[in-house]
Structure 1
Amino acid sequence: MKSEDSASRSSAQNQNQSPQAAVRSIEDWGVLLSRSLMSFEVELERPGAFQGYLRNRKVAGIEFIEMSTGKHLAHRGAESISSTDRPDYLLCLQIAGVGEFSQDNRTAVLQPGDLTLFDTTRPTTVVSSTDYRNLCMKFPQRLINLPPEQLGQLTATRTGARDGFAPAAGTLLITMNQLMDTSSGRSKILAAQGALDIITTMFQRQLDISTPSYPQATSPALLEQIRSYIDENLSDPGLGPRTIAAAHYISLRQLHGIFQAQGLTVASWVRHQRLQRCRRDLSDPALHAVSAASIGLRWGFKTASHFGMSFRKTFGLTPAEFRQEALSGSWGV
């Protein structure tokens, strides 16, 4: 975009303000999408005036993006996707107008209240109506503890405004968008995690993987017992598949089978739960005097370096960087 716009953007970021812009040309809209969302080629069906507005706020690696536009087409081709781009999902809530989202040879036509999902690593086409308003939640794929190949079944499929968890998910997106301006860093982090949990539950219901087929002599109740046991023993560095299996009088093979039925591994589940506890504690002002390394060791990581690498790989920040931004409430872009 023009140098004046670049300067104003830099100033806004330095002041930890939310990136937002209103544009009046389709060319500037394309630049704004690439800067704040991802790379798209955009075009108007008919030459003429265009108006678009976009606002993007981030908390704990999760972005909430609201936009309103005139009628146009946006296409993200394979040539626009880099292998170095962070793999994200976008959950989109239609607020007004009609949106058409195409990906993986499917097209979801959204009316107000409807939801759809798409994958930023896949080619995508979006067609917006004249009075289009949309709210998206953008989050790293690694934050959803569900198999990507299964979530891929949901891209560009319509979830109706009254279907299952859709009303709760839609309300959460709207509420989170409002909270971005009024809540502290820690409150926003906890609320964003809660929103992600609800959305994960919605995906599980849609994929029908909350009640998988378990091996003989196992049951959903056993899985819940195992998960509870893991939660109660996360601080034990020795917690692993063998100790978990022995505690429940099942074979190691049977334990792995139970988690594989959900598309997970035992080790990844334990690590995910430990990181969630660490993230919670790092954002707690009452624990500011406890070192980040001590928090990692408290939740079962064997070394501070292993904790630091795992945390950064998952959340994109070191534990110290995460804590500083969480406690200051200065989540920027």
Structure 2
Amino acid sequence: MPTAIDSYEEGRRRPTGSAGGRTRVLTTHSVPPDESLEYWHDAVFDTLVGMDIAAEGRTYDATLRTDRLGDLQITTVEADPGHVHRAPRFIARGDGREVFVAVQSAGRAQVEQDGRSTELRTGDIGFFETLRPFRTTFPERFRLKIFAVPRPLLELPEADVRRLTGRAIRPSGGLPALLAPLLERLADTSESYTTPTAERLAESVIDLVAATAADQLGADPAELPGADGVLLQRVRTYIRWHLSDPGLTPSVIAGVHGISVRYLHRMFEAEGSTVCRWIREQRLRECRKELAAQPPGSVSLGQVARRWGFASPAGFGKAFRSSFGLSPSDWLDRVRAGGVPC
């Protein structure tokens, strides 16, 4: 029979300038009914990770839709009742590079991992560690929206991730009440954002996931996501969305968030940085990404610098050389020659 790689239904092409190459849809409707479960095994392995999948009958009705939002892979699974087991033999193949953050969009899921079990109900959030075995039973037809977060970006020690699995995070208040509907909406609209917007959204989502995780773990109040930590997340998100504004200053940021400039500086100092340094680092990061992505000669250094909030090309060049030890043009020449990473 055909594998998921060979016989998936081609996703539609995205509009020019959108966040990725295409949306991919895999469905058991594309194969004969008696081959549907085997096909679904291939589809899940090809898109997520390897798992054993069992169902009551020989036929299985299931569809998954996958897309990218910046560094996030988003997969929406809608399927018949069944059982999945992420067994050690799959983990040994080395396909577990992400932590899955999932929203139970419809139906229920009975989850077991790391010695705990829980039931995800509609609206609940669950963390799945792909480096360790887990079992999930879906007693009824369900819809699950899965965000695959690269482990380094989540910045959580393995011991902390282990404490998050096998637990249902209810969206009844606090950060989960913000995160759950955001993930729901982004999974449904991921293909509609341009690349720069998608990348900013992904960064903000990862920040909010990390803050929610820390909240669930009972982090120190002086760290995320205590009162200062939640506010710092909001400030960082605001900065990312306003990097192009050359008038983005500590006084403006403090005023928008109803705090004093001194308090703003103190929050960043607690993180080992300063407001202005953090803004500069984010601007330089976006400039580097745009310069590396553009065809040679299609955009000037001055255009990119101004687009990301630098008042002048000279100021951009000085900041760039101070941070990376090269001028922007020398750095770009080395990137195109394959001599330095982007």
Residue number in structure 1 paired with 2:44? 33
Which structure 2 residues correspond to residues 169-180 of structure 1 after superposition, within 5 A? 169-180=179-190
Out of 196, 200, 203, the residue aligned to residue 206 of structure 2 is 196
Out of 266, 277, 287, the residue aligned to residue 281 of structure 1 is 287
Task: Give CA-to-partner distance per residue, 1:203-256, whole Å, 9 cap, x none.
Answer: 12111225259xxxxx998664243744433699xxxxxxxxxxxxxxxxxxxx
CA distance, structure 1, for counterparts of residue 319 and residue 43 of structure 2: 38
Out of 150, 157, 181, the residue aligned to residue 147 of structure 1 is 157
Which structure would you say has the larger RCO, counting Cα contacts within 8 Å and 6 or more residues apart?
A: 1
Amino acid at match of 2:47: S
Which structure 2 residues correspond to residues 294-305 of structure 1 after superposition, within 5 A? 297=320, 300-302=323-325
Contact map agreement 2:102 2:144 (CA 8 A) in 1: yes
CA distance, structure 2, for counterparts of residue 19 and residue 6 of structure 1: 11
Residue number in structure 2 paired with 1:97? 107
Out of 169, 186, 194, the residue aligned to residue 196 of structure 2 is 186
Q: TM-score, normalised by structure 2?
A: 0.66
CA distance, structure 2, for counterparts of residue 42 and residue 295 of structure 1: 56
CA distance, structure 2, for counterparts of residue 154 and residue 299 of structure 1: 40
Distance 1:235 1:172, change over 3 A: closer
CA distance, structure 2, for counterparts of residue 94 and residue 103 of structure 1: 17
The Cα shift of 1:185 comes to 1.0
Which structure 2 residues correspond to residues 129-278 of structure 1 after superposition, within 5 A? 129-211=139-221, 224-227=268-271, 229-233=273-277, 274=281, 278=284
Contact map agreement 2:284 2:320 (CA 8 A) in 1: no
* 1:109 counterpart SS class: strand
Distance 1:43 1:229, change over 3 A: closer
CA distance, structure 1, for counterparts of residue 142 and residue 207 of structure 2: 28
The Cα shift of 1:27 comes to 1.3
* 1:180 counterpart SS class: helix
The Cα shift of 1:151 comes to 2.6
**Mean CA deviation greater in 111-120 or 197-206:** 197-206
Residue number in structure 1 paired with 2:63? 53
What 5-or-longer segments of structure 2 have no aligned partner? 15-20, 230-262, 306-316
The Cα shift of 1:296 comes to 9.6
Q: TM-score, normalised by structure 1?
A: 0.68
CA distance, structure 2, for counterparts of residue 14 and residue 153 of structure 1: 40
Distance 1:186 1:50, change over 3 A: same
Distance 1:198 1:297, change over 3 A: same
CA distance, structure 1, for counterparts of residue 79 and residue 318 of structure 2: 45
Amino acid at match of 1:89: V
Amino acid at match of 1:40: M
Residue number in structure 2 paired with 1:21? 26
CA distance, structure 2, for counterparts of residue 174 and residue 181 of structure 1: 14
Contact map agreement 1:75 1:124 (CA 8 A) in 2: yes
Residue number in structure 1 paired with 2:313? none
CA distance, structure 2, for counterparts of residue 299 and residue 168 of structure 1: 38
CA distance, structure 2, for counterparts of residue 32 and residue 150 of structure 1: 30
Which structure 2 residues correspond to residues 57-72 of structure 1 after superposition, within 5 A? 57-72=67-82
CA distance, structure 2, for counterparts of residue 232 and residue 160 of structure 1: 37
Residue number in structure 2 paired with 1:261? none
What 5-or-longer segments of structure 1 have no aligned partner? 214-218, 237-273, 312-316, 320-333
The Cα shift of 1:74 comes to 0.8
* 2:191 counterpart SS class: coil
The Cα shift of 1:192 comes to 1.3
The Cα shift of 1:164 comes to 2.5
Contact map agreement 1:277 1:299 (CA 8 A) in 2: no
**Percent of aligned positions that are identical:** 17
Contact map agreement 1:282 1:295 (CA 8 A) in 2: no
CA distance, structure 1, for counterparts of residue 136 and residue 276 of structure 2: 45
